[in-house]
A and B are shown apart, each in its own frame.
Chain A
């Protein structure tokens, strides 16, 4: 089954404790991205990657890092999480940057205390 998976699905952590949210897709997609969703603000793109070793900032990249060492994986790293990063996070992929259909993962609900 074609899918995007994220782990963990739920995470509660404390300020400053480094964490990684993993994202993996099994569709051999070139393009992957991370979004965060907050009440009243909709979905906002954090980072995106057009292919292996090619990443770039989205609209809200501050406080986040990403890497794309393999085509299928696109982890989101929070080096020093803060409470304002409490949010619902979605990973997404599509075949290429110009593809029409984007597949989203199930989401990771992160709480930083």
Chain B
């Protein structure tokens, strides 16, 4: 299983871009990178996913390096409501199903 490494915590000023890094050096060619976030004790929320190309949706952008060993989630204009734990997940496949393995994530604190 490909493992991910994220910083434990990050701070960001409201209105600025938040750039959350993730290392996944053992990712295999058919594994996707997913990002979820969890606002204090609520259910995790899907943000975005990607394989090779950079991706953008209404919530965020995902930048994946060419060698796919790392990626960055970008929240272009962080707000106080973006304060949450952000999980970078590499999708693993097992015999009968596909589990999302949540690590410890990065706690992002957005302040005014």
Contact = CB atoms under 8 A, between A and B. Distances in A.
Contacts, number: 52
Interface in B13-42: 32, 34, 36, 41-42
Q: Is the interface of B mostly helix, strand, loop or mixed?
A: loop
Interface residues of A, number: 28
Interface stretch (B62-70, B72-80, B92-100): B92-100
Contacts of B36: 102
A42 B106 CA distance: 12
Contacts of A109: 41
Given A107-B41, A107-B42, A97 B97 contact: yes
A52 to B, nearest CB: 15
Interface of A: 4, 31, 33, 35, 40, 42-45, 48, 50, 56, 58-59, 88, 90, 92, 97-98, 100-107, 109
